[in-house]
Amino acid sequence: MEPKTKINAEDGRQELMITRDFDLSLELLFKAHVEPELVAQWMGTNVLKLDTRKHGSYQFATADPKGNKHRFNGVIHQFIPNEKITRTFEMEGTPFEAQLEFLEFQKLSEDTSRLNMHIVYRSTSQRDQMLKMGMRQGMNMAHNRLEEAAGKLK
Amino acid sequence: MNLRRDVFQAISDPTRRAILLLVASQSMTAGAIASNFDSARPTVSKHLQILTECELLTQEQTGREIYYHLNPGKIKEIADFIEPFRKLWDLRFNQLEAVMQKYKTKK
């Protein structure tokens, strides 16, 4: 089976592309990025602020399994409902500089849609470091999900 | 200048990627590798040194010649490198789909 989420990260480039098809209408997919409660649910984060409009901004806070708190924030540069969000993303208190994200929402059919996420980093090495960090985060997250699922089985 | 060598730095250079492709088909000496490039011999030697330092190539002494081999284990490491990042987003998006399916039926 072809993986649902695809990543295209070419060697020596400071950008990457994430593509995912959803069994959701375009409107639902877009709403998942706009409603603070919904964002909190699927991102597994506390949404401190989410002002989805041009020149709006957002701030999220999460705690990792060790109880360390992390904050993320960004500014929204372009906001076209059911079509496009251009925003920055920054992890507070890390050496990573802000990254630029272009989210494009596409209708495939009445109840399927596609998200293209183009992320541009400050440099090639920052992109690669971010990929490596994703590796560790991914492990933690998969682990948490497993524990959650196991907890429900009890 | 003593740069920290890592595989991603090593493969960011097009000449080094060409060397890896060349050696993938058969083990070769530095001289044989260099004859495939217009670059000066010391330049090619430098590339070979970097590729060896980060373990993409291994050296084997045969008589008076040193042959360079590809290290498939290390190559696989690169291919696997993006996979956890992809999985992270896949999990997130699966979650998004589940949350929104539930939201849809609630309405």
Determine the residue type at B71. Answer: N
| pLDDT per position as a tens digit, B12-44 | 677 888 888 888 878 999 999 999 998 889 999
Closest CA to B90 of A45, A151, A142, A97: A142
Name which residue leads in pLDDT, B11 or A39: A39
Chain A closest-CA separation from residue B6 CA (Å): 11
At A110, which CATH number? 3.30.530.20
As a three-state string, the secondary structure of chain A is: CCCCEEEECCCCCCEEEEEEEECCCHHHHHHCCCCHHHHHHHHCCEEEEECCCCCCEEEEEEECCCCCEEEEEEEEEEEECCCEEEEEEEECCCCCCCEEEEEEEEEEECCEEEEEEEEECCCHHHHHHHHHHHHHHHHHHHHHHHHHHHHHHC
Show residues of chain B in contact with A119, CB under 8 Å.
none
Total number of domains constituting chain A: 1
Question: What does the CA dihedral A83, A96, A12, A77 come to, rounded to 10 degrees?
Answer: 20
Angle at A106 between CA A102 and CA A107, to 5 degrees: 165
Task: Note whether B98 contacts A: Cβ–Cβ < 8 A.
Answer: yes
Closest CA to A82 of A131, A29, A123: A29
- Residue A137 domain flag: no
Task: Note whether B11 contacts A: Cβ–Cβ < 8 A.
Answer: yes
Domain that holds residue A80: 15-122
- Do B89 and A32 count as a contact with CB atoms less than 8 A apart? no
B82 pLDDT exceeds 90?
no
Interval A80-95 mean pLDDT = 94
Domain that holds residue B11: 7-81
Closest CA to B78 of B20, B22, B36, B26: B20
Q: Name which of B12, B87, B88 is nearest A11 (Cβ-Cβ).
A: B12
What's the longest Cα–Cα distance across chain B?
78
Task: Note whether B76 contacts A: Cβ–Cβ < 8 A.
Answer: no
- Residue A46 domain flag: yes
Q: Do A87 and A120 contact (CB within 8 A), yes or no?
A: no
- Residue A147 domain flag: no
Per DSSP, what are the bridge partners of residue A40? none
A121: exposed, middle or buried (C-beta count within 10 Å: 0-12, 13-18, 19+)?
buried
What pLDDT does residue B86 have? 85
At B75, which CATH number? 1.10.10.10
CB pairs under 8 A between A and B: 87
A111 pLDDT exceeds 70?
yes
Chain A closest-CA separation from residue B82 CA (Å): 7
Name which residue leads in pLDDT, B49 or B1: B49
- Residue A81 domain flag: yes
Q: Is residue A55 left, alpha or beta, with left meaning phi > 0 and alpha meaning psi from -120 to 50?
A: left
Total number of domains constituting chain B: 1
- Residue B22 domain flag: yes
- Residue B106 domain flag: no
- Residue B16 domain flag: yes
What pLDDT does residue A149 have? 45
